Amino acid sequence: MNLDKIQLRGMSFYGFHGATKSEKEIGQRFIVDIEIELNLRQAGTSDNLEDTVNYSELYNLVENIIKGPSRNLLENVAETIATTILTQFEIHSVQVKIKKPEVPIKNSVLKYASVEIYRLK
């Protein structure tokens, strides 16, 4: 069964997540992609916002979690986002990817570190 998707890509927020003291004190930028699967047929025919998931609500939810209380692991941040989306919206599944572009690994050269999870309702 193929489901329809809503995607928000490249959301960028400043937060204070990480395992090190400096990450918690100085903070850093996080880039978040989410993809939700649901049936969009009704919204496609009705042209009514109540028949779909409001992008602004998804964005604000992710922003509040990233800018919220500090967590040690990206895994926990991603799980919190996924669980909250599954709880608050009538959807089939959610995929969350969080990128940490300025990951503090001594002598490292990398574009980003990331965590990606997929959860079903």
* DSSP label of 96: E
- Answer yes or no: are the C-beta atoms of 106 and 52 closer than 8 Å: no
Q: Please write the tens of the pLDDT for every residue from 45-68.
A: 999 999 999 999 999 999 999 999
55: CB partners within 8 A, 6+ apart = 6, 8
Each residue of 4-36: pLDDT tens digit? Answer: 999 999 999 999 999 999 899 999 999 999 999
Q: Is the dihedral of CA 98, 99, 103, 109 positive or negative?
A: positive
**Total tally of structural domains belonging to the chain:** 1
Where in the sequence is the domain holding 72, given as residue range(s)?
4-120
- Look up 21 and say whether it is catalytic: no
- Predicted TM-score (pTM) of this structure: 0.94
Four-residue CA torsion sign, 53, 57, 60, 65: negative
CATH number reported for the structural domain that contains residue 105 in this entry? 3.30.1130.10
Given the residues 5, 21, 97, 100, the one annotated as active site: 100
